[in-house]
Amino acid sequence: MKQIVKIITKKDFSSFVNSLINDKTYDVVGVVEKGKRYVFDTLSSAKELQLDYDVTILPPKKYFLPQTESLLTFSLEKPFDGKETLDDTPRIIIGVHPYDIIALEQTDRHYLDQQQDNFYKKRRENTIIIGVDIKNVSDQSFAASMETNVTDSGFDLLLTDIGINYAVTIGSEKGTRLLEKYATAENASNSDLKKIITVRNAVAKKYKQKVNIDKKDWSSLLVANYNHAIWEEHSDVCMECSSCTMVCPTCFCYDVKDNVSLNLKEGTRVRTWDGCMLKEFTKVGSGEVFREEVKERYRHRFFRKGNYLPERYGFVACVGCGRCGSACLPDIADPCNLINELGHFNSEENTGKYFIKEETEVLERGIIHVPRSATIKKIIPFNEIDTLFEIELDDKKPLGHKPGQFVEVSIFGYGEAPFGISTPPGNSPVFEIMVRQVGNVTKRLCLLQPGDKVGIRGPLGNGFDVKTFEGKTLLFTSGGTGMVPMRSLINHILDPKQRPKFKDIIILYGAKRPKEITFMNDVDRWKKVSNVQCELTVDRCEPSECWDGCTGLITTLFPKIKADKIDSKNTIAVVIGPPVMYKFVIKCLQTLGVPDNNIYVSLERRMKCGVGKCGHCQMNGVYVCKEGPVFNYGKLKQLPEAFE
């Protein structure tokens, strides 16, 4: 549809801006000088506005995803008292360049998908974007190469400096209403429209930086060079500061933490910017870091932009603003330079090899990051580090989970942590989790008593599609705390109503020491079910411990499987345990002849948000909390980060 273009004199435009400021309906933001550079800031007068700027230090994403924002406030004096803190401030942002407008449209795809982020959505709805065509080009920018130097969408109004006037392209009804209420503008003539094209063409010639590889070919180039020496060569001088991600308009990862006031009576759950270049970005409660080497993080940043998000959403997550190149002291962050350097090497057609597309059912469970109230019903210690919790949702609605899904458990003042659900599916608001004391949330949780309140979000993630297991022999291999979600699956399948749907069942269960074997009552019951073989082992046994079972790694149990129970092609294998266990167990399964597509695993990562938004659990192009935590090994094995 042809857009309407108006003409406004620069003097009248200044009056328009001052009218917006004086009206006080909106927080009016614009580009202002800061030393020799430019920033977006609240305007007190139209005189402050600098529409001929080259680039701002930070992108306007800070108004939609603030560097620090309150998600909810809570009281520590009441059992469970948390209130969301949605920001509904009406805002107008003046002077947004086309590349930043396009970056916001990309961010919309991530935050306004099925599982919408209400905090982001509210700010987007309450903000009017007045863009401006670029007049002066930053030395680091390569927006013309990315086709982001101009745009025809994503704005309410768009200014083009055509001399003594501004041409104003109207992009929305909100823009129309704003212009009619606060400005005096005339219809643009054909001569004015030609001036817009002339101005844009002239600016396009000012770019010093150029990417020699078309952006649609970035993905194939990156995939072909996943193991190239360039990642280590460049990252060797990386300062690991993550400045590149902080200034990037298309980097939108975040962290969530609880801040408690000095009076220890209330607090705030806040969201802050975070970056994948930081070492602890993928660190889980047990202390393991899943991208520990800087070259892995450096490579991840470029793959996220050029391969992972293009496979997920269909766009390259780089708009050529050049901010990262300006912010990086060792000068290794600029995608333009890196892609041009890689351009001398081969490409690969299979660009989707590091991405797994899985549909995740989104259940309406309230506003993102705001938990439901629940009550601890029972606490059963298993050993000095493992404790079973029975929890009931206070709204009495069924949890409605599948085996393999998880919940985020929240304790105000300490934060949230993900836990596998240990009970089988049902129509009850009561469920069980097992807590191992490895971090602040888990340690605090183990100090609570029956009757105390916690917060619950979920169920989350993809669980096991048990329907596809019907008519098969099932081989379950579990190590350590992997028995928590495995117990949910086993008890569901061994339910008398479900059991006839499956053939023989083999359960292999290992732990470090006898005292760390959990759910022994379940194990004893499983052993009594017909056509169920259950074998246990421990890594080691102290002389003081009573144990008459097998001693050795879990792989020592595979020779105990009765040969006549295994029809390898008709067997489904499920593996859940510590990361180090997977490659050895999978090798045993392959030796038995179980096809890779018949093997399912459940993986652990730092699942902070639980809905595929914060980025911490990302494994190559996959969000473990969203596409997983349950994966088919036949698909998963192509992801290098899955079992590293």
3-state secondary structure of 485: helix
Whether the pLDDT of residue 284 is over 80: the answer is: yes
**What percentage of the chain's residues is helix, strand, coil (to nearest 5)?**
30, 25, 45
pLDDT of 148: 98
Quote the DSSP letter at residue 558. G
Mean pLDDT of 475-500: 95
3-state secondary structure of 616: coil
What is the C-alpha to C-alpha distance for residues 504 and 502, in angstroms, rounded to an integer?
Answer: 7
pLDDT of 453: 96
Q: What is the DSSP string of 3-72?
A: PPEEEEEHHHHHHHHHHHHHH-SSEEEEEEEETTEEEEEE-SSGGG--TT-S-BSS-GGGGTS-SEEEEE
Q: List 83's β-bridge partners, or say none.
A: 73
Whether the pLDDT of residue 362 is over 70: the answer is: no
Residue type, 641: E
Q: How many CB atoms lie within 10 A of CB 14?
A: 15
Q: Per the structure block, which two tokens stand in for 190?
A: 């054909």
* pTM of the shown model: 0.93
3-state secondary structure of 468: helix
pLDDT of 93: 98
Of residues 604 and 326, which shows the higher confidence score? 326
| Residue spans per domain, the chain | 5-204, 372-460, 466-602
Report the mean per-residue pLDDT for the chain: 93
Confidence of residue 88 (pLDDT cuts 50, 70, 90): confident
Confidence of residue 245 (pLDDT cuts 50, 70, 90): very high
Residue among 125, 183, 126, 123 nearest 159 (CA): 183
- Give residue for tokens 């022999």: 473
Q: How many CB atoms lie within 10 A of CB 94?
A: 24
What is the C-alpha to C-alpha distance for residues 415 and 411, in angstroms, rounded to an integer?
Answer: 6
Residue type, 644: E
Kindly tell me the burial class for residue 340, based on how many C-beta atoms sit within 10 Å of its own C-beta (0-12, 13-18, 19 or more): middle
pLDDT of 438: 84
Question: What are the C-alpha distances in Å from 473 to residues 470, 483, 503, 572?
Answer: 9, 19, 5, 6
CATH homologous superfamily of domain 372-460?
Answer: Translation factors (2.40.30.10)
Alpha carbon of residue 481 to chain centroid: 24
Whether the pLDDT of residue 366 is over 70: the answer is: no
What is the C-alpha to C-alpha distance for residues 383 and 517, in angstroms, rounded to an integer?
Answer: 9
Q: What is the DSSP string of 346-378?
A: ---S-TTTT------PPP--SSTT-PEEEEEEE
Kindly tell me the burial class for residue 200, based on how many C-beta atoms sit within 10 Å of its own C-beta (0-12, 13-18, 19 or more): middle
129-170 per-position pLDDT tens digit: 999 999 999 999 999 999 999 999 999 999 999 999 999 999
pLDDT of 367: 67
CB 107 within 8 A of CB 121: no
Confidence of residue 440 (pLDDT cuts 50, 70, 90): confident
Mean pLDDT of 530-547: 86
Whether the pLDDT of residue 540 is over 90: the answer is: no
- Bridge-based pairing state of the strands 505-511 and 532-538: parallel
pLDDT of 337: 95
163-221 per-position pLDDT tens digit: 999 999 999 999 999 999 999 899 999 999 999 999 999 999 999 999 999 999 999 99
Please name the residue ranges forming H helices in 257-308.
294-303
Whether the pLDDT of residue 473 is over 80: the answer is: yes
Both ends of the chain: CA-CA distance in Å?
A: 50
Quote the DSSP letter at residue 425. P
pLDDT of 639: 95
Kindly tell me the burial class for residue 595, based on how many C-beta atoms sit within 10 Å of its own C-beta (0-12, 13-18, 19 or more): middle
Confidence of residue 439 (pLDDT cuts 50, 70, 90): confident
CB 503 within 8 A of CB 473: yes
379-392 per-position pLDDT tens digit: 999 888 899 999 99
294-324 per-position pLDDT tens digit: 999 999 999 999 999 999 999 999 999 999 9
What is the C-alpha to C-alpha distance for residues 505 and 526, in angstroms, rounded to an integer?
Answer: 10
For 523-532, which contacts have Cβ atoms below 8 Å and span 24 or more sequence positions?
A: 526/490, 526/494, 529/494, 529/499, 529/505, 531/503, 531/504, 531/505, 532/494, 532/504, 532/505, 532/506, 532/507
What is the C-alpha to C-alpha distance for residues 338 and 301, in angstroms, rounded to an integer?
Answer: 12
Mean pLDDT of 54-65: 97
HEC sequence for 176-244:
HHHHHHHCCCEECCHHHHHHHHHHHHHHHCCCCCCCCCCHHHHHHHHHHCCCCCHHHHHHCCCCCCCHH
**Domain with residues 466-602, CATH architecture:** 3-Layer(aba) Sandwich (3.40)
